Structure formats: structure tokens, C-alpha cells
Amino acid sequence: MRRVVGIEEWRRLAAEKRASGRRIGLVPTMGALHAGHESLVAAARANGDYVIMTIFVNPRQFNDPNDLRAYPRTPEADRPLAESFGVDALVEPTMAEMWPAYPDPTPTTVSVAGLGDVLEGAGRPGHFDGVASVVAKLAIVTGSSRAYFGEKDFQQLAVVRRMVLDLGLDVEVVGCPIVRDDDGLALSSRNVRLDASARARALSLSRALAAAADLGGPPSAMREAMAATMTAAQVVVGYAEVVDPATLRPLEDDATGPARALVAGVVDGVRLIDNREVEVRKGP
């Protein structure tokens, strides 16, 4: 596995691989690697891509300084893990190269209106501006590529897809299925902050989604079932929503067909999210 730090080396490497006939598979991460990241690398390798993984804890997507400070950083563990996953090149760009003005605000921002200011965006102002801005920069430096994102961050995936479409970036965005532990908890770098008690309560997020899927009724009833399941487990409910998968707009009770149920909750100070596809039908 090749390790890269500088943007120019990263840019040259991607260009050289494309010139040799390879397609670049970009796997953006913030480190604290786990099996969910491994699944993204596996998807890229299955497509025959030359896999470039980036590790960069992006401060611009944290609206809470305490959350940024608490975010796990495990570079010494991440490097051998990335190599074991089959990553071809690991890029760990410096803050100075990614955001030269930091810690002052960066003058240039990419914002995706409508998709980035609801759900997670409503409770975390500026979060998706930070996400869209960093992904745009990763894509621009890498150049023509396929970029792999997990469906656990479903809203992020929707934001990135829209940004790529609107800006005409030469990137094919590939969504990959959620990876879960045996107990059903969606894999997340934040899970390391949960003790045994908090983890048991965190399982209410996946149970809430299962309750909504089993109900299959009008969206309002599904929302109530999800919120009740999380509240019963003493999880602070961020949201429990049923939306159109493309626009993320909440669905009314006259909607029918495929939809996405999304939940967010805070367990002992740790914010977790989860989602799944559901089928909605009209109420009586």
C-alpha cells in the first residue's frame, strides 16, 4: 500500500493510474476504520478499481466543537487496517492543504439547498455544507473516478449525488449497503464511545426501523412507532422520519410505494443515525 500526504502527489498518482488504463475508486473516510469501510473497499475492488482511500477528519462538518474533539482518531491502527482491506493508496492530507485558512472560516463553500438543511442538517447547521465542500475537493483532486459511500449516511449520499449532478463532476457515486454488527447496530466510528449499557439502548434505532417496516402503514403511524420505540429505550429522539428517497421530503399519509425511514438519537451524549427502505401505503 502506498502512503500519500501531499495533494500534488495524490493528483499525479490518480492521473498516472488512469493513463495506464485503471479506473480510480475513491473511498473517503474520517478514519477510525471498521468493517463498514472495508465493505466500501471491497465494492471498489470488485469493480476492478485502483482504490484510493482518504482519511481526513473534516472540521467543517462539525458544528459542535466538543463533538470534533471527541471524534476518534486512530491513525496507527488505521494504516495496517487499510492495507489489510486491500487499499492501494492511503491519502492522509494535511489540514494546511485541505483548508489553508483553518481555523478561520474557509471563504469557499459548497451548499446543497433543500437536501442539506433538513434532518441532520436542521439539527447540525452547516454540517452538510462542510460535507459537500470536502467531498467536492476530494473529487476535484482525484479527478475522474468512482466514489463509494455507505447508505448508513443516507442523507449524505443524497447530498453528494445532487452536488455531483449539479456541478458536473466526473464522478460516479456508488451507494453501498449498510453493514451491521451481529446485534443489528449499524457500524459507525462513533460506536466506540458507547459502553455496554449505552450500546444496548442504541439498538432501539434499528428496532424502531424494523417496527416501521413491519407496520408498513401510513407515514404518520410509522413515525409514531419509531419515536415510541426509541423513547422507551431512553434514547433522546433527534428525528423519526419517513421521506421520499430522492428529495428527502416528508411523505404525507396519501403516499404509496418505496420510501426511506430515517432515525437519529442521542445515547449518553453520542449521536447515532440509522435508516432503511420501507414501503408505505395509505391509511384507512
Shared domain check, 112 and 24: yes
Q: Has residue 141 been placed in a domain?
A: yes
CATH of the domain at 125: 3.40.50.620
Residue 96, pLDDT score: 97
Q: What is the per-residue pLDDT across 49-80, written as a single tens digit (0 to 9) for each?
A: 999 999 999 999 998 999 999 999 999 999 99
Q: Has residue 240 been placed in a domain?
A: yes
pLDDT band at 283 (very low <50, low <70, confident <90, very high): low
Q: What pTM was computed for the model?
A: 0.94
Q: Pick the last residue of a domain from 152, 176, 200.
A: 176
pLDDT band at 150 (very low <50, low <70, confident <90, very high): very high
Q: Has residue 182 been placed in a domain?
A: no
Shared domain check, 200 and 225: yes
d(CA 1, CA 41): 13
* CA dist 64 → 28, 120, 121, 143, 212 (Å): 22, 13, 13, 31, 31
Q: What is the per-residue pLDDT across 221-232, written as a single tens digit (0 to 9) for each?
A: 999 999 999 999
C-alpha cell of residue 199 = 450500546
Shared domain check, 135 and 62: yes
Q: Pick the last residue of a domain from 155, 176, 197.
A: 176
**Whether 37 is catalytic:** yes
Cα 165–Cα 171–Cα 175 angle in degrees, nearest 5: 85
Shared domain check, 241 and 205: yes
Residue 217, pLDDT score: 86
Q: Has residue 50 been placed in a domain?
A: yes
Q: Read off the amino acid at residue 14.
A: A
Shared domain check, 258 and 172: no
Q: Order of strands across the sheet with 2-4?
A: 2-4, 89-91, 50-55, 24-29, 145-150, 171-176
CATH of the domain at 211: 3.30.1300.10
Judge whether residue 284 has pLDDT over 90: no
Residue 38, pLDDT score: 98
Q: Indicate the number of domains in the chain.
A: 2
Shared domain check, 141 and 17: yes
Q: What is the per-residue pLDDT across 248-261, written as a single tens digit (0 to 9) for each?
A: 999 999 999 999 99
Residue among 24, 26, 33, 37 flagged as catalytic: 37
Q: Read off the amino acid at residue 226.
A: M
Which domain range does residue 239 map to? 189-280
Q: What is the per-residue pLDDT across 94-113, written as a single tens digit (0 to 9) for each?
A: 999 999 999 999 999 999 99
Judge whether residue 265 has pLDDT over 70: yes
Residues 230-244 have a mean pLDDT of: 98
Q: What is the per-residue pLDDT across 16-51, written as a single tens digit (0 to 9) for each?
A: 999 999 999 999 999 999 999 999 999 999 999 999
Q: Pick the last residue of a domain from 127, 148, 176.
A: 176
pLDDT band at 282 (very low <50, low <70, confident <90, very high): confident
d(CA 214, CA 83): 40
Shared domain check, 195 and 161: no
